[in-house]
Amino acid sequence: MQQNAAMQQNEPANLKDAKKIQIEGQKSKIKVGIPRALHFYRFFPFWKKLFEELDVEIVISSRTNKRIVEEGAFQGFGELCLPVKVYYGHVLHLMREHPDLDYIFVPRYVSEWTDGYFCPKFLSLPDVIRCLPGVPKILTYTINVKEEPIANAIISLARTLGKSQSEAIEAYKKTKEYHRQYQRFLRAGAPVNYALRLVEQGKSFGKVPKRRAKKIRLLLLGHGYNLFDNYVNLDFQKKLRDQGCEVITLENLPEELFKEPVVINRRFKNYWGHETEIMQAIRYFLTKGRKEIDGVIFLISFACGPDSLIAELIMRDMKVVGLPFLQVIMDEHTGEAGLLTRIESFIEMIKRKKRSMLEKSIHI
């Protein structure tokens, strides 16, 4: 008994907290809310598996809708990019719809690469969210592989949830393996939203659904939260498919394309990890993979610093190789009709280009 009391006195405060939630609230599991925004579209399978292994119940906010965007935009200042405003909206949605949450999960992503960073908005996310009115406890971890291994972040997160170091390491091992399977599934050609749906429903990945061969093949560039949040992007991919296009995204490309660093020039160095991935993909399609696509579309959020810089570089390269390129900048005021017109004209231009190339080849 005495030994038990002594052990309890030495327990870290967050461990006591976690146990208290379970005992006082008569709840079997800690309940954590996950906003369906920003890095949800990149890391959700990782988070879901990790929380499952740590015996935590998760609640995901609904798909983005008008109210979520409006509430988020109201909290965000004018020049803030749309994805962060949408993130605010999802946090507020979780608070309103799930008042019984013990925590809202707001990770801090600093760096996932040894030579690049996430956008500064990700670095400050937990601090900014804490300033929203009435936010419950924030559950967070910091991923910064430049300074410490991811395992350390998982151990500290697990401690907050009342789990031991060995439980955390075991959970991390299983999560890494699951996440690898998920990435393999995407690289085999599975569309991201399809794969995310399987993860959410707890289904196994199985076979990649066959895509019907289309006459026009497009590479769609951009951050996951721009490309796969269909409310925010006004169902952009469906609009392309309706025009008879096959769409590929970075997630579907082989891992080898992302191994070599990109050198822009001696004066300009890109510090943003995701933008580096975009340029690595483009490098392939400008060179060896030139014949594999008919055009490139870059979907950017208004007021996004990192994307606007590299979009300019990509546009110059596209002109040199003569590959059709469309840059679409979106915000909460983007209209459906205008967007459709731009897509239609772009596709028409590609069709004409293909026709004229075919005619030329016949005359030769």
Q: What is the DSSP code string of 29-56? A: SEEEEE-SSTTHHHHHHHHHHHHHHTTE
Q: For ligand SF4, give the closer residue by CB, 226 or 252.
A: 226
Q: Does 305 bind ligand SF4 (CB under 6 A)?
A: yes
- Choose which of 72, 224, 295, 306 interacts with ligand SF4 (CB under 6 A): 306
Segment interacting with ligand SF4 (CB under 6 A) among 15-23, 77-85, 240-248, 341-349: 77-85
Q: For ligand SF4, give the closer residue by CB, 125 or 350.
A: 125
SS (H, E, C) 19-32: HHHHHHCCCCCEEE
Q: For ligand SF4, give the closer residue by CB, 84 or 326.
A: 84
Segment interacting with ligand SF4 (CB under 6 A) among 62-70, 78-86, 139-147, 190-198: 78-86
Q: Does 301 bind ligand SF4 (CB under 6 A)?
A: yes
Q: How far apart are CA 20 and CA 40, in angstroms?
A: 29
Segment interacting with ligand SF4 (CB under 6 A) among 26-34, 143-151, 300-308, 355-363: 300-308
Q: How far apart are CA 118 and CA 108, in angstroms?
A: 10
In order of 157, 191, 306, the CA distances from 285 in angstroms are 40, 20, 21
* E strand segments, the chain: 30-34, 56-60, 103-105, 108-111, 138-139, 142-144, 216-221, 245-249, 295-301, 325-330
Q: For ligand SF4, give the closer residue by CB, 25 or 120.
A: 120
Q: How many CB atoms lie within 10 A of CB 211?
A: 15
Task: Tell the smallest beta-carbon distance from residue 192 to ligand SF4 (Å).
Answer: 16
Q: How far apart are CA 38 and CA 36, in angstroms?
A: 7
Q: For ligand SF4, give the closer residue by CB, 152 or 308.
A: 308
- Binding to ligand SF4 by CB under 6 A, coded x per residue (else -) over 223-252, reads x-----------------------------
Judged by CB under 6 A, the number of residues near ligand SF4 is: 11
Q: How far apart are CA 170 and CA 178, in angstroms?
A: 13
- Choose which of 36, 39, 90, 121 interacts with ligand SF4 (CB under 6 A): 121
Task: Describe the strand order of the beta sheet including 325-330 as a list of residue ranges.
Answer: 245-249, 216-221, 295-301, 325-330
Pairing of strands 30-34, 103-105: parallel
- Choose which of 101, 119, 218, 221 interacts with ligand SF4 (CB under 6 A): 119
- Tell me phi and psi for residue 178, to 5 degrees: -65, -40
Do residues 192 and 249 touch, judged by C-beta distance below 8 A? Answer: yes
Task: Tell the smallest beta-carbon distance from residue 306 to ligand SF4 (Å).
Answer: 5
Q: Does 83 bind ligand SF4 (CB under 6 A)?
A: yes
Segment interacting with ligand SF4 (CB under 6 A) among 10-18, 42-50, 76-84, 196-204: 76-84
- Binding to ligand SF4 by CB under 6 A, coded x per residue (else -) over 84-113, reads x-----------------------------
Question: Helix, strand, or coil here: 322?
Answer: coil
Q: Which residues are CB-contacts of 108 (< 8 A; sequence separation ≥ 6)?
A: 122, 123, 124, 125, 126, 140, 141, 142, 143
Q: For ligand SF4, give the closer residue by CB, 81 or 128.
A: 81
- Choose which of 86, 219, 304, 318 interacts with ligand SF4 (CB under 6 A): 304
Q: How far apart are CA 101 and CA 109, in angstroms?
A: 23
Q: Does 81 bind ligand SF4 (CB under 6 A)?
A: yes
Q: Which residues bind ligand SF4 (CB under 6 A)?
A: 81, 83-84, 119, 121, 223, 301, 304-307
